Amino acid sequence: MYHNYNSVLFQHKNYNSMFNKMIAGILPYFPKKFVWLFSKRYIAGVSLTDAHKVCRQLSENKMIFTLDMLGEFITDLSEAEENKQAYLKIIEQTETIGLEGNYSLKPTMFGLLLDKNICFNHIRDIVAKAASYNNFVRIDMEDSQCVDMEVDIYRRLKKEFPKNVGLVVQAYLKRTLTDLKNMLDMHSTEAPLNFRLCKGIYVESPSIAYKKYEEINAHYLEDLECMFQNKIYVGIATHDKNLVEAAYKLIEKHKVAKNMYEFQMLYGVTPELRDSIVKKGHKLRVYVPYGEKWFGYSTRRLKENPQMAGEVMLNDLMGKLQEAQQQMVESKKRLNSVFVEAEVENGLVKVKANGNRKITQLSINKELLQNGDIEEIEDLIITAVNKAIEKADKLNEGEMSGMAANMMPNLANLFGG
């Protein structure tokens, strides 16, 4: 009996996993308006105003933020200049809202793979802008072809802006621990190295990246302990509860001061775990992505976390069902007060019914009652009732069609682009 139950449970989980992966896999081929239904949970919005609204909400919940304008792997250097100008405006406008937060950027959106020098100069201008406000820019780490170039950009910028720039490192890359040790020459007590440590999201060869969950977690903790031992400032970026619990132990083991680390999470992901970290008194920064180029980020994020796609679809479906149930109740109330009438033989028999097909009134001509044949009267009543019910059915169908139209709005528009 227990064997069968466990077998069914295992199959159920497998089916859920397959469903989630299927949804995440096909979403990139759907129109943007449809994908947005799944994406809005972890994208702050399209505009900076949207992002600032999220930042205020985070601040109210004792969290800080890092702002990221979405976009990567550009193909034209004119886009790099546009992106730089956009970031300069982001910094200017964000510094006026009076909240604690900083900025993150991806070098490929400034032309890293097109012209390294132009890319560096753009990023330098952005870091200089942030530094003028005594703030900070985090350089995101991208796929393996970018790692050496992004480490080099960090080295060059840290010399000029020792306290205003940081880098992301990825635990699943086999080179990361060596990279950490090689960068210690830039480290000092006055201006410590500043890293965000994440697992890593890009698809890489097994020759350069760990693939198994246990391996990645083990090296994540090895990298984290190296940072604690060398008094490097670290953003512990993970949504893995096991790693969070292990990080707590390492913080205690190495007596790490609260001003030398923070936890970091993506906007909209594992909010319960996020809240629990804050309640324990740890600093937590939320990565807040926004922008018109949300589509690529969203489809990639859903592929990385297919469970989210399935959950959003099921939650949306349950919401629609609850909405339909409520609308059904309201429709029945309305139909109780809407009436139709039917008559036969020039009004000898009249019947009144409401929209829920309930007969509310029956009128029979007095002369028919006095002089008519009983079978004739019964036939006329039946005919009149059927006519009234038929009218009530049409009224009911119209109401239900209207409800369906309200519940599933503009499907053509939703799927059309």
Could you give the residue range(s) of every CATH 3.30.1310.10 domain in the chain? 337-415
Looking at the predicted structure, is the pLDDT value of residue 16 above 90? no
Q: Which residues pair with 234 in a beta bridge?
A: 195, 261
What pLDDT, on the 0 to 100 scale, is given for residue 164?
Answer: 98
Q: Which residues pair with 353 in a beta bridge?
A: 340, 359
- Region 64-73: mean pLDDT is 95
Looking at the predicted structure, is the pLDDT value of residue 325 above 90? no
What pLDDT, on the 0 to 100 scale, is given for residue 106?
Answer: 97
Highest mean pLDDT among 9-18, 79-88, 296-305, 306-315: 79-88
CA dist., res. 317 & res. 245, Å (int): 34
- Region 132-160: mean pLDDT is 97
Mean pLDDT of the chain: 86
Q: Angle, to 10 degrees, between the axis of helix 306-336 and the axis of helix 294-304?
A: 110
Range from 9-18, 70-79, 408-417 carrying the lowest mean pLDDT: 408-417
Confidence of residue 297 (pLDDT cuts 50, 70, 90): confident
Q: How many CB atoms sit inside 10 A of residue 283's CB? A: 17
Of 308, 293, 332, the C-alpha closest to 23 is: 308
- Region 162-171: mean pLDDT is 98
What pLDDT, on the 0 to 100 scale, is given for residue 317?
Answer: 47
Spell out the long-range contacts of 21-29 with Cβ–Cβ below 8 A and sequence spacing 24 or more: 21/306, 23/302, 23/306, 23/309, 23/310, 23/313, 24/302, 24/303, 24/305, 24/306, 24/308, 24/309, 24/310, 25/303, 25/306, 27/299, 27/302, 27/309, 28/299
Looking at the predicted structure, is the pLDDT value of residue 59 above 70? yes
Confidence of residue 392 (pLDDT cuts 50, 70, 90): confident
CA dist., res. 388 & res. 392, Å (int): 6
What pLDDT, on the 0 to 100 scale, is given for residue 19?
Answer: 52
CA dist., res. 168 & res. 198, Å (int): 7
Range from 75-79, 147-151, 315-319 carrying the lowest mean pLDDT: 315-319
Could you give the residue range(s) of every CATH 3.20.20.220 domain in the chain? 44-290
What pLDDT, on the 0 to 100 scale, is given for residue 110?
Answer: 98
What pLDDT, on the 0 to 100 scale, is given for residue 298?
Answer: 72
Range from 58-72, 190-204, 320-334 carrying the lowest mean pLDDT: 320-334
Higher per-residue confidence, 72 vs 162:
162
pLDDT digits (tens, 9 = 90+) for 119-129: 999 999 999 99
Range from 164-168, 195-199, 373-377 carrying the lowest mean pLDDT: 373-377
pLDDT digits (tens, 9 = 90+) for 100-110: 999 999 999 99
CA dist., res. 357 & res. 388, Å (int): 8
What pLDDT, on the 0 to 100 scale, is given for residue 167?
Answer: 98
Answer whether 74's CB lies under 8 Å from 67's CB. no
CATH of domain 44-290: 3.20.20.220
Would you put residue 257 in left (φ > 0), alpha (ψ -120 to 50) or beta?
Answer: beta
CA dist., res. 42 & res. 53, Å (int): 14
pTM over 0.75: no
Pairing of strands 349-354, 137-139: unpaired
Answer whether 81's CB lies under 8 Å from 122's CB. yes
CA distances from 205 to 172, 201, 202, 211 (A): 11, 12, 10, 9
Mind spelling out the 3-state secondary structure of the chain?
A: CHHHHHHHHHHHHHHHHHHHHHHHHHHHHCCHHHHHHHHCCCCCCCCHHHHHHHHHHHHHCCCEEEEEECCCCCCCHHHHHHHHHHHHHHHHHHCCCCCCEEEEECHHHHCCCCCHHHHHHHHHHHHHHHHHCCCCEEECCCCHHHHHHHHHHHHHHHHHCCCCEEEEEECCECCHHHHHHHHHHHCCCCCCCEEEEECCCCCCCCCCECCCHHHHHHHHHHHHHHHHHCCCEEEEECCCHHHHHHHHHHHHHCCCCHHHEEEEEECCCCHHHHHHHHHCCCCEEEEEEECCCHHHHHHHHHHHCHHHHHHHHHHHHHHHHHHHHHHHHHHHHHHHCCEEEEEECCCCEEEEEECCCCEEEEEECHHHHHHCCHHHHHHHHHHHHHHHHHHHHHHHHHHHHHHHHHHCCCHHHHHCC
Answer whether 128's CB lies under 8 Å from 91's CB. no
CATH of domain 337-415: 3.30.1310.10
Amino acid in position 358: K
Confidence of residue 42 (pLDDT cuts 50, 70, 90): confident
What pLDDT, on the 0 to 100 scale, is given for residue 359?
Answer: 92
